[in-house]
């Protein structure tokens, strides 16, 4: 036979239970706050590391190797390259080497990005076409230096990722398209500058046709190893200059497959 629960004991029991629940909640809140602070400190340390690494990259790999365009140097100091590579390799983002970005593609080494961009001689009022968006890093650099950037990526996953990242970073002067870069982007032609970050076996004629008068194009041409070529359109004439040997992923698309020129 069960007796009645003493009201005083019952109230004490309920009160003690409430206090225990409150203490547990406070403890959980404290743990969450501590974890948040630790995460913020970790993030802060990472950003400081990346800032220092980027400064060293610009000094040692770019300025000290002969790149003189101050606007370009400021752009490369500003654009956070680590945000354009997979998280697991971000710690390598500022070393002078290409890095994988998925889909068997790479982001070019910083010096090559700087060299190709400097060869375009951008002054801030240009309309630029980029062939081979990749992760969007080169497009971001161009957007800091030119009025408009149109960029084409043949691989849809990369095009979508780059477009979202560039939008998230606030670039309003970049337009991304998934398509065959071999044929260029006639809708917005002619262009004051064209930069190609994948290597065709020869210079695509559609890209030459889309150059404005006085425009420049920088493009790697060849198979296993390529020659980085500077192309100028002056007085309606095309002049081609060799610069340095380079190695890029090959250009793909129907134009290359069909042997068009």
Task: Say how many Å lie between the first and final Cα of the chain, rounded.
Answer: 100
Name the 3-class secondary structure at 206: helix
- For the record, the structure tokens of 202 come out as 């020869």
Short-list 80, 191, 194, CA closest to 144? 80
Sequence-separated (6 or more) residues with CB below 8 Å from residue 156: 178
Residues marked as catalytic: 108
Evaluate the omega torsion of the peptide bond into residue 232 and state whether it is cis, within 30 degrees of 0.
no
**DSSP symbols for 82-120:** GGGS-GGGGGGTTSSS-EEEETTEEEPPHHHHHHHHHHT
User: Residue for token digits 């654009």?
Assistant: 79
Residue 192 Cα to chain centre, angstroms: 22
């Amino acid at each position: 036979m069960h007796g009645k629960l003493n009201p005083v004991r019952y109230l004490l029991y309920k009160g003690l239970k409430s206090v225990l629940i409150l203490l547990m909640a406070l403890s959980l809140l404290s743990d969450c706050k501590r974890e948040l602070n630790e995460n913020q400190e970790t993030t802060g340390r990472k950003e400081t590391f990346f800032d220092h690494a980027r400064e060293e990259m610009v000094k040692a790999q770019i300025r000290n190797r002969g790149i003189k365009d101050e606007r370009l140097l400021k752009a490369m100091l500003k654009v956070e390259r680590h945000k354009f590579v997979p998280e697991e390799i971000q710690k390598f983002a500022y070393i002078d080497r290409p890095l994988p970005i998925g889909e068997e593609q790479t982001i070019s080494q910083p010096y090559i990005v700087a060299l190709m961009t400097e060869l375009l001689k951008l002054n801030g009022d240009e309309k630029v076409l980029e062939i081979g968006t990749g992760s969007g890093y080169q497009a971001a650099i161009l957007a800091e230096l030119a009025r408009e950037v149109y960029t084409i990526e043949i691989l849809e996953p990369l095009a979508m990722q780059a477009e979202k990242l560039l939008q998230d970073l606030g670039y309003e002067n970049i337009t991304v398209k998934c398509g065959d870069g071999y044929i260029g982007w006639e809708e917005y032609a002619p262009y004051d500058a064209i930069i190609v970050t994948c290597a065709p076996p020869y210079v695509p004629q559609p890209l030459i046709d889309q150059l404005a008068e006085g425009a420049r194009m920088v493009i790697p041409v060849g198979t296993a190893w390529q020659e980085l070529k500077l192309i100028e359109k002056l007085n309606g004439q095309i002049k081609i200059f060799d610069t340095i040997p380079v190695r890029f992923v090959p250009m793909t698309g129907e134009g290359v497959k069909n042997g068009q020129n």
